[in-house]
Chains A and B, each alone.
Chain A
């Protein structure tokens, strides 16, 4: 067990912890919007940890150095696309008429949409 693979394994452990956190957030939170908040962020950071950690771990085990560049490609792809799918989903949720949680304090988007409709008429 050398230092490089120990670092990789530590990153994997870190990522697995955040995976659990995201699954737990999915179960515990009260409505769609808050679930998305907790789940998306933790899952993205967890993926970064697990995937880059795996690349480093493989290099530490004496495998080909291409592991790390390829795992960086996958990690960057996930980092770029996950927020976009979260944004598309939350917009679809709002447009399909799911109400905010009863404890929400402010909703500026509804005001802006009304304003826009009023302007067009």
Chain B
């Protein structure tokens, strides 16, 4: 997937910055909206090269729908992870079995890899230790399967089917 055109990237940056402005000021006053729009235009002119490589393609309806479905799934996984952690902390014998395993991913883009690493860190008993290309090194609190395929099946698969569509 190549880079999008300059105008598409610029417009995407303006839209995202304006949404952040709306949330921060939390007011629908006309003056606030005007100054926010002007500031988004100015800031986007300086920062769009760093901000995105995909441009308006990120706002494709299918991607937004998958992102909207990903949020509740992720929150649910996070709550389950925390109940698991609660069990391990409060149990008198501390039932842990830690180790560092390796996983492979099929994601290509940098943003996709970042979101996968963040999702892994926040969900059941795993923390991303390092990323080299498509190899993830993960500290797992309860190692069930130390081979590469088994670990990938357990840790990265459930998130990849969402993130593959969202970030490509």
Contact = CB atoms under 8 A, between A and B. Distances in A.
A–B direct touch in complex (beta carbons closer than 8 A): yes
B121 A38 contact: no
Interface residues of A, number: 47
Contacts of B55: none
Contacts of A103: 96-98
Contacts of B141: 34, 37-38
Most-contacted residue by chain A among B81, B85, B129 (CB, 10 A): B85
Contacts of B130: 91, 94, 109
B127 A38 contact: no
Contact of A18 (B22, B26, B82, B139): B82
A107 interface: yes
A112 interface: yes
Interface residues of B, number: 42
B143 interface: yes
B121 A86 contact: yes
Given A34-B141, A83-B117, A112-B132, A104 B98 contact: yes
A98 interface: no
Interface stretch (B2-10, B46-54, B60-68, B99-107): B99-107
A34 B78 contact: no
Interface of B: 20, 22-27, 78-79, 81-82, 85-86, 88-90, 94, 96-102, 117-118, 121-123, 125-130, 132, 135, 137, 139, 141, 143, 146
